[in-house]
Amino acid sequence: MSEKQDFTPLTPQLGIAGSSYQLQMGKVNGYWAIRLVKGSNVLASKVYKKNPDEIPLGNHLTGWVLSVIAIPNINPYQIQKTIGFIRQKAMRAIEDQKHAKKTAGKAESKSVTLDKVPENVQVKRPQASGWVQEDEKPSKGKTAAADMSPALAASNYSATGKSQGSANHRGGGLKAIPSGNGFVRSAKKPEVNASQQQGVSSDELQGILKRIDQLEHTVNDLETDNMELRKEIKSLKNSIGKK
């Protein structure tokens, strides 16, 4: 195989045990090929043109390696092991290429089906939120005055005796608040609650206080009698205990 031929590797370079040589399989112009490598140099190579669709047999590959290798008394078993590994990797690479060609573009070409929206489902559209400040509407009087022609205003004045401005002004007929040196503004009287009006007289309050004093004296007398009664009961118990 000349250096100008395009070698497409299908396996990595696998070393032969007990040597510094490596083997690699690939294809040249669609034909199977094998080459012997040492370091970065290709020492020998062979192209199998008889059956391009079938990978060469392991015995043929082993015989070629033994014929070109420069190591005397090398163990053929180590070469057969390396040949077996690279043949498996080469066949796996071919299968992967065939699978990639079959499935190329199928994932993208799958038709996408869209689910139909049921007829009874109402689609809710987004609504704008917030508030809008409306312009203040002019009063009817202002609108009428603005739209009133001079001739109509003159006829209204002759019929009612009121000008256009005075008719449109609200409260124009109210009397002015009197003012002057003799006028005094009266202060507003505070409102009195009904509960404040219903107060307690001083006589009733004195009677209540007197009743409280009487109750306190009664309680004190009861407490004193209670203490004396307890003392008498205690003395009776002591006298009974001595007997």
**How is residue 33 annotated by DSSP?**
E
Q: pTM above 0.85?
A: no
With 70 as the cut, is the pLDDT of residue 11 above it?
yes
Q: Tell which wins on pLDDT, 99 or 200.
A: 99
Terminal-to-terminal C-alpha distance of the chain: 144
CB-CB neighbours of 86 under 10 Å: 22
Q: Which residue has the tokens 């070109």?
A: 68
**pLDDT value of position 195:** 45
- How many Cβ atoms from other residues are within 10 Å of residue 127's Cβ? 5
Condensed to tens digits (0 to 9), the pLDDT of residues 28-50 reads 988 999 999 988 899 899 999 88
Output the pLDDT for position 164.
Answer: 55
Distance, in Å, from the CA atom of 46 to the CA atom of 83, rounded to the nearest integer, reads 14
Q: Which residues contact 153 (CB under 8 A, 6 or more apart)?
A: 164
